[in-house]
Amino acid sequence: MSWNELLLQVFRVITLQDYNTRMVMLGTGLLGAASGVIGVFLLLRKRALLGDAISHATLPGVCIAFLIGVASGGSGKSMPLLLSGAAITGLLGGLAILGLRQFRRIKEDAALGIVLSIFFGLGILLLTLIQQIPEGHAAGLEGFIYGKTASMVAEDAVLIASVTGCVLLVALLLYRPMQLLCFDEGYAASQGWPVFWLDGLLMSLVVAITIVGLQAVGLIMIIALLVVPAAASRFWTHQLPKMLPLSAALATFSCLVGATISAIAPRVPSGAAIVLIAVATFLVSLFFGNVRGIYWSWRRHWRLRQSYDREHLLRDMYELVELEREQDKSGKMGPTDVSISIEVIERHRQWSHGHMMRALYRLQFQGLMLFHDEGRARFTASGFKEAARLTYDHRLWELYLMKYADVDPLRVDRSADDTEHALDPEIMESLKVMLDKEWNGKVPPSPHPLESVSSEGGKR
Amino acid sequence: MNESLPPFQFYWELDGWIILAGILCAASASLLGSFLVLRRMSMLGDAISHAVLPGLAAAFLLTGSRQSSLMFIGAIVVGVLTSWLTQWTKQIGKVDEGAAIGVVFTGLFALGLVMIVRSADSVDLDPGCVLYGSIELTPLDRYRFGSWEIPRAVLTMAFVLAVNVVFVVTCYRQLKITSFDPALADSLGISSKVMHYLLAALVAMTAVASFESVGNILVVAMLIVPPAAAALLTERLSRMLVVSVVMGIVATIAGHFGAITVPRIWGYSSVSTAGGMTIAAGALLILTILFAPKTGLLSSVGKKWLWGVRVNGEDILALLYRQEERGEAGATAESLSKQLLLPRRNLWFYRWLLGIRNYVRVEKSDWKLTEKGRMAAQDLVRSHRLWENYFASEVGLTNEQLHPPAERLEHFTGSQIRKQLFEHGPSQEVDPHGKPIPPERDKPS
């Protein structure tokens, strides 16, 4: 396919020129919106995989409906009959989950798994029974109701539209009790809401969506639509009123983009495309969601580490420069004249060379330090000022720890190192008032003996 | 429907191997499943059964062959990946376990589907045919060892079971602590993370090996249902493991026999054995729910019923004692029914019960206490009146309020409590209504 043709095709799909594309977009989009909303309630109720359990629980219903259809003389493959059979066992499965939850020892996930496996086992058993019926054109019975997005027709879209409309309406009408149910079951019960029936209602909504979705788009996709957008929206907000539309929007977006891709690219099943887009939105949310996204916490952590490194490096330099200047008899050596071997600091901090160089280059970039080729570094004027400020704070804090927290003078350096980064300016101000009686803001001498490091290498 | 069904026969050669393969699968799955159920990861088995698709597709695309060993390796890799990705999503994104499982397995399945449809267009790669074995076909594919012929599925599952048993036995303590209290485990130097990932990897291996040899539905069910039933029966982990394995084995045997015999009643030949085993496991769970000694529905109903019977019987005795005390004539069923508000039709039962325990004698529809009955009734009435004394003096209830609590408590009061009440009570001969308190008997009956 040339670029021209591709663009033309994209244009055709996006402008919904084909009847089929229109129906698929409409149907999956509506389905996405409804399952996005219900999915949020399920997620908060810790029943995210309810769709999974219920969709498996529909299989025996389909088989029984088929058997009934054959027994009453038909072919058995009547869609309303099969769908109502699916709905009945789906509901029974939901009720069984609620019933199992009454036992303290059976947890939510076990209840879902029990219903899923037993109902599905029954379905498999009935399928092998159906295969023995001579007049049963049982072949493809599973495929008959499980998924055919590409060939969606107007009737399907109308069915989906009406069901999803009802589901959304019920969910919005019962917003308040559903919210209570999700966040605090006990409180909801104490307010007089019938918790069991609300759970049952939520379950019925899931059954409705699952049945429609199974038939329209397939098993895995309906499970994904009930789980993934809701889980993704959790990374962007903590508030239910925002989470509901966000989840619905993410789900609809996934459906529309997925369906578009499927319509453009040859041989990409639309169900799979929709799921993959949904998972992609989940990953984006997981990393960049503004409330819980892990990128932001990584970045915070990284920045914090950087500022620690900066403060440590500047102070170490200051103390080394201070020593050098004390040893200098002439007293002419200015603070920016002394150069220090960076190896000494590396050894003192137990940093790797790369770590040291990254920290050093950042300081050089900030104009606080100069780095020479011989592996030695010097302060700039502003760097010395900043380092003096940091050292002043550090020593005041050390004094405080020694005086009021009884920290051993030989260990106070390490204790101060660990905690000083969390001190804010107000605390420093009061420390100054408390302790700085004689130095008037000049850097006080170190309250503990400094490690005697000479610039030639020295010892710890 | 097949009218000329051949007569039912059981072939050790075939059915024996099928049952053995089922037992091995059920035992290995229930063993690990107990820990999954405790850690609330029950849905992992089902998730893996869907998620292995990209592993199959990748193995196929890389090697271009449909050889089952390569598919098997691909599936195991993706199975382990599924459980690890789930853990990762859960921990790093702080997502609910169920949601994490849902995101991972639907995503992987969709990926596999796209890989297959996009690339393997000329070859029909149906996961249903390639990976998912069927337990009924177990005896057909055999390895020969000298004069022995052992089905491959049995060998595979025996290996899996052995690995699982070794894992659970050697890491029992670590598994136990990390399942119940991960924080404690970490503080004891046992990495809960490592145990978690190891367990998840073994579950993936068990699941994939089972898909390939006995089909997916069996292992998904056996990972959850027997352990959940065992959890209702016992609180000790060691017993839970044993009970769930035994239940899995029982379900397997019952399920196979059920699947090959029951449908014959309606004139069908045998149905899916795996389905039958699943249903049998479900039936075991339902039986447990009904009859478990502590948590069972019927046992709690039964306990309530037995208690009711005891209280009613004691009330009858006490009533007869009071009538004797007042010198009234023996009571009839009619008068008892009226005074105790017991339905008339229930009294024959108490007549029989108290009769065979030799508490009550009935002469011409006249109920009379026996010596043994009088002694029991004496204790009850003494308890009742001592309680009335206590409530009057210590609690300060009025005379009208005394009866109901005493009536309830008399059924729970033994000689020890009577002694204490006696020592604390104000009057030691009469109750607040002025009725005499019968003396304590020397020996409690």
Tens of pLDDT, residue by residue over B1-43, are 445 566 667 777 778 888 999 999 999 999 999 999 998 888 8
* pLDDT range class, residue B67, cuts 50, 70, 90: low
Closest CA to B74 of B112, B122, B35: B112
- Name the class of domain A3-292: mainly alpha
B431 within domain boundaries: no
Are the C-beta atoms of A259 and A25 separated by less than 8 Å? yes
Q: Which residue has the tokens 């999803």?
A: A164
The predicted pLDDT at position B356 comes to 87
The predicted pLDDT at position A459 comes to 35
Domain ranges of chain A: 3-292, 297-435
Listed range (A223-227, B189-193, B237-241) with the worst mean pLDDT: B189-193
The predicted pLDDT at position B425 comes to 66
Domain boundary at B295, B320, B342, which? Answer: B295
A297-435 to CATH, choices 3.30.750.24, 1.10.10.10, 1.20.120.420, 1.25.40.10: 1.10.10.10
CA distances from A144 to A82, A147, A272, B20 (A): 10, 8, 18, 35
In DSSP notation, B149-212 reads EEEHHHHHHHHHHHHHHHHHHHTHHHHHHHHH-HHHHHHTT--HHHHHHHHHHHHHHHHHHHHH
Using DSSP, state whether B144 is helix, strand or coil.
Answer: strand
The nearest CA of chain A is from the CA of B224 a distance in Å of 6
The nearest CA of chain B is from the CA of A178 a distance in Å of 19
The predicted pLDDT at position B124 comes to 52
CB contact under 8 A, B259 and A134: no
* Residues of chain B contacting residue A126, judged by C-beta atoms under 8 Å apart: 271, 275
* pLDDT range class, residue A453, cuts 50, 70, 90: very low
B80 within domain boundaries: yes
Same domain membership, residue B283 and residue B330:
no
Residues B231-241 as b or e (16 or more Cβ within 10 Å = b): bbbbeebeebb
For A426, the enclosing helix (H) or strand (E) is helix A425-435
The strand ranges marked E within A260-405 are: 339-341, 369-371, 376-379
Residue A458 or A215, more confident: A215
Q: CB distance from A48 to chain B under 8 Å?
A: yes
B121 has pLDDT over 80: no
Suggest the residue from B5, B35, B42 to mutate for an interface test with chain A (most A CBs closer than 10 A).
B42
Q: At what angle do helices B192-214 and B17-38 cross, to 10 degrees?
A: 150
Q: What is the dihedral of CA B93, B98, B104, B109, to 10 degrees?
A: -170
Same domain membership, residue B347 and residue B208:
no
Same domain membership, residue B104 and residue B62:
yes
* Residues of chain A contacting residue B277, judged by C-beta atoms under 8 Å apart: 121
CB contact under 8 A, A103 and B289: yes
**What does residue A377 show for φ and ψ, rounded to 5 degrees?**
-130, 150
* Residues of chain A contacting residue B113, judged by C-beta atoms under 8 Å apart: 220, 269, 271-272
Q: CB distance from A110 to chain B under 8 Å?
A: yes
Listed range (A45-49, A87-91, A435-439, B230-234) with the worst mean pLDDT: A435-439
Reported ipTM = 0.80
Looking at the 3D structure of chain B, how many domains does it have? 2
Domain boundary at B295, B329, B353, which? Answer: B295
Same domain membership, residue B338 and residue B210:
no
Q: CB distance from B40 to chain A under 8 Å?
A: yes
Same domain membership, residue B276 and residue B339:
no
Are the C-beta atoms of B227 and B37 separated by less than 8 Å? yes
Listed range (A69-78, A160-169, A383-392, B18-27) with the worst mean pLDDT: A69-78
The predicted pLDDT at position A150 comes to 52
CB contact under 8 A, B114 and A269: yes
* CA atoms of A306 and A301, how far apart (whole Å): 9
- For residue A393, how far is the Cα from the chain centroid? 39
Q: CB distance from A272 to chain B under 8 Å?
A: yes
The nearest CA of chain B is from the CA of A103 a distance in Å of 8
Same domain membership, residue B291 and residue B272:
yes
The predicted pLDDT at position B224 comes to 94
- Return the CATH number at B46: 1.10.3470.10
Domain boundary at B295, B328, B354, which? Answer: B295
Q: CB distance from B345 to chain A under 8 Å?
A: no
Same domain membership, residue B359 and residue B221:
no
Mean pLDDT for A131-145 is: 63
Q: Which of A113, A125, A228 sits opposite B271 (nearest CB)?
A: A125
* Residues of chain B contacting residue A105, judged by C-beta atoms under 8 Å apart: 231-232, 295
Same domain membership, residue B252 and residue B343:
no
The nearest CA of chain B is from the CA of A134 a distance in Å of 7
The predicted pLDDT at position A22 comes to 79
A371 has pLDDT over 60: yes
Q: Which residue has the tokens 């088995």?
A: B45
Same domain membership, residue B307 and residue B216:
no
Same domain membership, residue B333 and residue B289:
no
Each residue's pLDDT tens digit, A167-196:
889 988 988 888 888 888 888 888 888 888
B378 within domain boundaries: no
* Beta bridge partners of residue B366, listed in sequence order: B363
Q: Which domain holds residue B49?
A: 12-295
B136 within domain boundaries: yes
For B83, the enclosing helix (H) or strand (E) is helix B68-93
Dihedral sign, CA of A212, A216, A222, A225? negative
The predicted pLDDT at position A226 comes to 93
CB contact under 8 A, B98 and A112: yes
Mean pLDDT for B331-350 is: 82
Each residue's pLDDT tens digit, B192-208:
888 888 888 899 889 88
Q: Which of A113, A228, A294 sits opposite B92 (nearest CB)?
A: A294
Residue A44 or B440, more confident: A44
Same domain membership, residue B228 and residue B116:
yes
B258 within domain boundaries: yes
CB contact under 8 A, B110 and A47: no
Listed range (A223-237, A283-297, A328-342) with the worst mean pLDDT: A328-342
Mean pLDDT for A15-26 is: 76
Q: Which of B43, B110, B259 sits opposite A275 (nearest CB)?
A: B110
Same domain membership, residue B145 and residue B120:
yes
Mean pLDDT for B258-276 is: 82
Chain B, residues 386-425, CB within 8 A of chain A, namely none
B3 within domain boundaries: no
A35 has pLDDT over 90: yes
